[in-house]
Amino acid sequence: MRYRSALALLHSMSNADRADIGIKPADFPRIAREMSVR
């Protein structure tokens, strides 16, 4: 998965989904980077 698509995926998630896995919008760049590395 590329960084941009990972970031888009995070942005497309609902707030409830984000809260469920405990991520905040401020964490998106770091999380997307980790997702793109895998």
Q: How far apart are CA 18 and CA 12, in angstroms?
A: 10
Instruction: Give residue-wise pLDDT tens across range 1-38.
Output: 799 999 999 999 888 988 898 998 899 899 999 988 87
pLDDT at 12: 92
Token look-up 């497309």 returns 12
pLDDT at 14: 87
Q: How far apart are CA 2 and CA 15, in angstroms?
A: 22
pLDDT at 5: 94
Domain boundaries, the chain: 3-37
